[in-house]
Each structure stands twice: as structure tokens, then as C-alpha cells.
Structure 1
């Protein structure tokens, strides 16, 4: 069982955007900085007007790891986790599980696209290679 994040005013759009197939990223209305993880105040200009917007849902692998150790009973291994630079959101990196790929095939610089796994009211982002 995957633990679920607490949904708050600042992060609900990120965790529920997958219901509509959208990767939602917070942006400052004043300086247009992308903000992740989502926050109530822009860390660049201190503006309190933050809005979540859909981005393309693609990006480039910045880093990754392949896990071979089952951390919980019935956990399937190996699996890969990737840190992806998100297109359309400068400075934002989203870490998530890589799906629909051999974990040993992941490379730095590889192009990815988002998909989502639904658990209750939460839509977890996942990355899959762009073929």
C-alpha cells in the first residue's frame, strides 16, 4: 500500500490533476516562476498569488536510481525512480517511478512523458519513456 499525501490548498492541483491527464505545476502570477513542490508564497519574489497550470507532461531525465531491495512485503523489484526536468516549468524537477520500461534501460538525458496511477483521490505522476 502506497502512503497518500495530505491534500492541502497548495498541493491539491498537483496530486489531483492526473484525473484529467494533466501534470499541474504551481506558478507565481507576478514573476511567472515555476514552483515545485507547490507553496503558498513564491520563493523568488514573495508574491502570494500562486496558480496551478497544466504543463506539457514531458521532460528529460536529470538523474535516476534502480532499486533492487524490496522495502515492503510484495514490493516488486527491480524498479526505477527518475528525477525529470519538466518541460515548460524551468527549474522544476519531479521525482517519480518509471513505468513501461526495463529499469536498466533508463539513461540520463532520456525523454519522458507523464502518466498517472490513481489511488483514492490522489493521482501519482509516473514517468515513461518517449519512444
Structure 2
């Protein structure tokens, strides 16, 4: 793998509009926490967040912090300028959380050349603070992104 490169924050991201169930996921980054829904009935994490566990159907669910460590499960490099201000190339990856490998997130992997991101690579979360287009404080979110694990 080539040397790490400095990550440059894009000029723009399409910020989500959190729902009651997803608000913790999108705002946990303010405290540096990746919050994933956990079922207290069967003990498993699940994503995306929802009002009930898809495994056991329990409604005793709540967001809990996870380690923020993951493994790249799938990767593609986007080379098309789809979103003004989010200049290509950039990596779109599916990562599997170390805490519960069948919990996967779609994200960007940054901090190294795009062609160096590989399936099986160990990554860790960090967060970008964004405000959705409405501009009010309630629309502030922290986008979870991943970078190679830093020892």
C-alpha cells in the first residue's frame, strides 16, 4: 500500500434528514460515537435503525455505541461527477462492523489513494459535521466515514 494521503473534506455532501429512529445514528458523531440499534430481546445489533428487531421482532430496541472498527466488504471507485462539490474520484464501500459482522454500512473510505482500498482492509470510523440544506440547527448531522485503522 502506498503512503497515507491527507483527506480533504468535500465542499458538499447530501446530508440526510433524520427520522425519529435514525436521529441517534446521525448525531452520535457529535460525541465521537457510532450508535447502532441493538435489540435487548436477542442482543443483536441491526441497521438501518427501526422500531423493531428484524430477527426476533422485539420492540425493545435502542441505539448503543459500537467500537467503530470495521472491515471493507465491498468497494467501488466513483469516477463520475454526480454531486457538485463532491469531486471524483472517491471510494464508496460497504463495511462490516467488527461488533456484528452482518451489520453493514455504505460509506466512503478516505485517507489513502482510492486504488489502495481493498476488500478485507481494517478501517475505523470518524465523523464529518454537516448541516442539511434547510440550515437550521436541528438538521445538523455527523456523517460516519471510515479510514484505515491507525495504530
TM-score if structure 2 supplies the norm length?
Answer: 0.82
2:28 match: 17
Cα deviation, residue 25, structure 1 = 0.6
Residue 90 of structure 1, CA deviation: 3.6
Matched, 1:107 2:118: yes
What is the root-mean-square deviation in Å for CA atoms of aligned residues? 1.2
Q: How far off its partner does 1:8 sit?
A: 1.7
Aligned to 2:135: none
User: What is the rounded CA distance, in whole Å, between the counterparts of 2:141 and 2:98 in structure 1?
Assistant: 22
Large movers: runs of 4+ above 3 Å: none
1:130 is matched with which residue?
A: 149
TM-score by length of 1: 0.94
- Matched residues, number: 131
The answer on whether the counterparts of 2:13 and 2:86 sit within 8 Å (CA) in structure 1 is: no
CA contact (8 A) 1:82 1:127 kept: no
Hey, what does 1:88 align to over in structure 2? 99
Shift of 1:7: 1.6
Given that 1:69 and 1:77 are in contact with CA atoms closer than 8 Å, whether structure 2 keeps it comes out as: yes
Query: Is the contact made by 1:59 and 1:86 (CA closer than 8 Å) also made in structure 2?
Result: yes
What is the match of residue 116 of structure 1?
127
Check the 8 A contact 2:38/2:46 in 1, yes or no: yes
5+ long unaligned stretches in structure 2: 1-11, 132-139
> What per-residue deviation string (whole Å, max 9, x for no partner) do you get for residues 5-29 of structure 1?
2222211111001001111110111
State the alpha-carbon separation in 2 of the partners of residues 129 and 66 from structure 1: 16
Other structure's SS at 2:41 match: coil
Q: C-alpha separation between the residues in 2 aligned to 1:84 and 1:72?
A: 22
